Amino acid sequence: MMKLFKTMLISTLIISQLLMASAVSAEQADASQSAAEQTTANPQNEAKTDMTEEQAERPGETPVTEEAPDTEQTADPQETAGNGPATVDPAESQEEQDLLILKANSDKMIHNGTEYTALQPVTVKDGNSYVSLRSLAERVGINVSFDNSTKETVLQSGGHEIRFKMDSATYTVDGVKKKAHGPAYSQNDIFMVPLTTITQALNIPLTFNAETKEIILNLYSAPSAEFIVKTQDIRAEQTRVEYEDRSSHPRGLTIVEERWEGKEEIFQEPGLHVITRWVRDENGVWSKPYSVTVNVRPAKQPPVAFFVTNQDTYRMGELISIQDQSTDEEDSIVERKWDNKERAFFTPGQQTIKLKVTDKYGLSSEYEKTITITEETLYTRDDFNKLYTPVGEKYTFNGGSVLELPKIQFKSTDWGKVLLRSNSPESVTTEGVVYDDTINGDMRFLIHHKNISNQNLKFYVVATNPYDFDVAFGIEHVGFAGPNEFESITGQKSLQRYFESLQKGGVRQTVNLAPGESKLILTDLSARAAKPGQVVSMMADLYSDAPVRYRVVAVNESKDVMASLPFLTLLDRDGVHIRGTYQGSNRTISIAETIGDKPARMMLADKTDDPFLVGRDFMNGMDSVNLGNYGVYYTIYLEKVAPNTLISFNPRGGLYSGVFMVNGELVPAPESGNLNNRDEASVLYRTGSREEKVTIVFSPASGSNLPVNLLFYPLPDKKD
């Protein structure tokens, strides 16, 4: 290192002594530089050419750089992206030289043997060698411009920006300030910069030939052929491989050609594959090779579909136990599709059950098994369904027979929260206020709206403190679903999430309102806009220590709701659906007598056995009946449910999709899809061999139809 330093020092002193003989004074700057032509400054590599402060004072000294030896890099067998030069180069004989020779104390510039005249000679000023920035930039292939607002000379270079300023001993690269080897100045109206500073900024190697007294700049610049393999898991004969171009040029030249070795769209053979690429720029310069090694795994085998039954022969109405034993080498089965899979069959003969399994790669296989159903009957269809339909799933039966069941008579008690129901107009055609009321204390929101306008709407709840003192309120429980085009499923999901919030307990959020302040609350509702045809549904419990004004509004997704609020009109009811404010929205029903020892039913939300809440629509001042009791929170205490009793749920008004809490456990009704009509029922609970207390929590689900029945049946005796 000491020997190298001494050599550099001697070279620098020779250049300095030679150039100082013809130094000239500075005049005003050239401010009419032309528009920039892109090239490259490489600030990330600048550390390789930086001189020490001592070396900077020695004009012409050669910066020392280190280059890593070429090596091939292999990606991790589990990865498919890496980098490293390859071993084969189609442009191997290409010389990596593009030489510019500056004559000492001369304006002559020899570029690859051709002589050019610089605007000013290489000049020494205050111990620093200076060159004409424009003349050097032209040879490098860069045009310069002038920023009149900052009075800076600017070079745009391959995505980087270099700025020099008159009489300043600093310059910037991409906004980062650097120390120059001397201040820029004007010489005969030509902008002059320190030679070592501009070559360092442009990452140009510089040497001095002591014998010929020449400063030699190597302007050679090659593109990079970098790329990545985006596909992570590559399988022979199966995977279509995706590549991403990451090539670049240090001076922003256009890449016009590429060459590949080992690149395949679909690899045919497993193992390690080396993919190599070269690129050529518009000047005909080829890059070094760039390689990525990928591990191509053997072709993925499809999953194996397989199942067993506990028997090969069954009686009619006998439970069929099926055990899925399908396998996959990566445990990546994403779909199981059954055909003719029944819990029991009720006609004699051969029955073929089929299973198709599909993995995440789209590969699949099928398996089938044929069983025999004899002419002997174990259970009728009705008895079998009562015994073996899983909780949460539905079964079919003669819905007309329900009307023959005796009704369970009960009385109810209403108490607790004020209900604010916003459901009319259910189908919103334009922006506006869909409900507005001021509530004090505990309250419950039930919001259910569909966007049928021609714009994307967001639904908001705005809470306003109408008083001159602070008001605090809390958000206790929230269930939200949507936007979604399926009304009944959206209503079911919002109710399910409300019940889940109840199970977790506690206050979800507390809010303080200053006098006159308005805030957005229940922001899940407005997180995403509802597109035309989509539904939003929410049920939420709140409380406050003073009256709060609540407004439910619909606004175009692009607008500021608070700015729009004063200009929104009050939307009229649709004449079919309900909105209003109702007192006592918690309803408790207690039944002390024994239930389930004989078939019976309990009718809910029918107006007669289970009356509707009556309240007021404070948007128009009219009385409002909560048809269906949507938003009412039912707690049904059954003190004595007989042993071996089936409790199921049967809609009477049409399609229904809801959820219950039975003894604290969530039970969908049904687990998937809908109860489509009165001939379908969903299993809620079965008692065991002893009498039990059963507590059922229920609230009519938005988007579904009422009234509904709870059905109670003694279970049939089990047979062998």
Residue 617, pLDDT > 90, answer yes
Helix (H, G, I), strand (E, B) or coil at 597: coil
Domain boundary among 582, 612, 643: 582
Distance CA 426, CA 449 (A): 5
Same domain (yes/no): 616, 502: no
The answer as to whether 176 is a domain residue is: yes
> Tell me, what amino acid is at 46?
E
Whole-angstrom distance, CA of residue 575 vs CA of residue 534: 21
- Region 621-649: mean pLDDT is 97
pLDDT at residue 33 is higher than 90: no
Q: Strands 160-165, 152-157: parallel, antiparallel or unpaired by DSSP?
A: antiparallel
Q: Are residues 428 and 546 in the same domain?
A: yes
At 694, is the pLDDT very low, low, confident or very high (cuts 50, 70, 90)?
very high
pLDDT-derived band of residue 46, with 50, 70 and 90 as boundaries? very low
Q: What is the pLDDT of residues 101-159, one digit of tens each?
A: 998 789 999 998 999 999 999 998 888 889 999 999 888 878 789 999 999 999 987 66
| Residue tagged 């014998």 (tokens) | 211
Burial category of 409 from C-beta neighbours within 10 Å (exposed 0-12, middle 13-18, buried 19 and up): exposed
With residue 588 as reference, give the H or E element that holds it. strand 586-595
The verdict on 577 and 708 lying in the same domain is no
Higher-pLDDT residue of 649, 219: 649
Within a domain: residue 21? yes
Decide if 473 is inside a domain: yes
Q: Is the distance from CB of 96 to CB of 284 less than 8 angstroms?
A: no
Whether residue 112 is found in the same domain as residue 128: yes
Q: Where are the alpha helices (DSSP H) in 141-221?
A: 195-201
Report whether pLDDT(34) > 90: no
At 386 the three-state DSSP class reads helix
Who's near 672: CB < 8 A, 6+ residues apart?
Answer: none
Which residue, 582, 598, 624, sits at the end of a domain? 582
Lowest-confidence pick of 40-44, 112-116, 127-131, 674-678: 40-44
Q: Do the domain assignments include residue 256?
A: no
Select the more confidently predicted residue: 43 or 391: 391
Residues 457 and 482 in one domain: yes
Q: With the C-alpha atoms ordered 195, 201, 202, 207, is the resulting torsion angle positive or negative?
A: positive
pLDDT given at position 497: 96
- State the CATH number of the domain containing residue 198: 3.30.457.10
Using pLDDT thresholds of 50, 70 and 90, give the confidence band for residue 202. confident
* Separation CA 399–CA 658 (nearest Å): 19
User: Given pLDDT bands bounded at 50, 70 and 90, which one contains residue 36?
Assistant: very low
Nearest Cα to Cα of residue 281 among 256, 259, 258: 256
- Encode pLDDT of 246-266 as tens digits: 998 877 778 999 999 999 999
DSSP symbol at 344: -
pLDDT tier, 284 (very low <50, low <70, confident <90, very high otherwise): confident
Query: Do 359 and 325 belong together in one domain?
Result: yes
Instruction: Return d(Cα 367, Cα 385) in angstroms, integer.
Output: 27
Q: What is the pLDDT of residues 56-109, one digit of tens each?
A: 333 333 232 333 333 333 333 333 334 444 444 555 545 577 899 998 789 999
Q: Strands, DSSP E only, in 620-717?
A: 622-625, 633-641, 645-651, 658-662, 665-669, 680-686, 692-698, 708-714
**Cβ count near 539 (within 10 Å):** 27
- Tens of pLDDT, residue by residue over 311-363, are 999 999 999 999 999 999 889 999 999 999 999 999 999 999 999 999 988 99
Q: What is the pLDDT of residue 626?
A: 97
pLDDT tens-digit map of 379-391: 999 999 999 999 9
Looking at the predicted structure, is the pLDDT value of residue 621 above 60?
yes
- Whether residue 279 contacts residue 223, with contact meaning beta carbons closer than 8 Å, is answered with yes
**390 in a domain, yes or no?**
no
Question: Same domain, yes or no, for 424 and 555?
Answer: yes
Same domain, 633 and 552: no
pLDDT at residue number 90: 54
Which band of pLDDT confidence, cut at 50, 70 and 90, is reported for residue 17? very low
* Residue 8 binned pLDDT confidence (cut-offs 50, 70, 90): very low
Q: Domain tally for the chain?
A: 4
CA distances from 332 to 348, 360, 671 (A): 37, 6, 24
150 and 176 inside one domain:
yes
Assign 708 a pLDDT band (cuts: 50, 70, 90): very high
Lowest mean pLDDT among 19-28, 143-152, 232-241: 19-28
Q: Which two tokens stand for residue 137?
A: 């930039």
Of 52-56, 175-179, 347-351, 598-602, minimum mean pLDDT range: 52-56
DSSP 8-class letter at 468: S
* Final residue before a domain boundary, out of 560, 582, 604: 582
pLDDT (0 to 100) of residue 62: 29
Full domain range(s) for residue 485:
417-582
Q: Establish if 623 belongs to a structural domain.
A: yes
51 plus 199 within the same structural domain: yes
**3 state DSSP class of 509:** strand
DSSP secondary structure letters along 10-45: HHHHHHHHHHGGG----B-----PPPP------GGG
Helices (H), 550-613: 561-564
Question: In the chain, what's the furthest Cα-to-Cα distance?
Answer: 121
User: Is residue 399 very low, low, confident or very high in pLDDT (cuts 50, 70, 90)?
Assistant: very high
705, 655 Cβ separation under 8 angstroms:
yes
On whether residue 435 sits in a domain, the answer given is: yes
Q: What is the pLDDT of residue 92?
A: 53
* pLDDT tens figures, 400-448: 999 999 999 999 999 999 999 999 999 999 999 999 999 999 999 999 9
Cβ atoms of 85 and 291 closer than 8 Å: yes
What CATH number is attached to the domain comprising 327?
2.60.40.10
Residue 175 CA to residue 161 CA, distance in Å, equals: 8
**Judgement on whether residues 468 and 479 belong to the same structural domain of the protein:** yes
Same domain as 440, residue 537: yes
| DSSP output for 234-255 | -BTTTPPP-EEE--B-TT-PPE
pLDDT for residue 55 is more than 70: no
580 burial via Cβ count (<10 Å: 0-12, 13-18, 19+): buried
Asked if the structure places residue 186 within a domain, the reply is yes
Which residues on neighbouring strands pair with residue 414, listed in sequence order?
A: 587
Local structure of residue 406 (DSSP, 8 states): P
CATH code for the domain in which residue 596 is found: 2.60.120
> Has residue 28 got a pLDDT over 80?
no
Regarding pTM above 0.85, the answer is no
Q: What number is the average pLDDT over the span 201-228?
A: 89
CA distance 203 to 341: 73
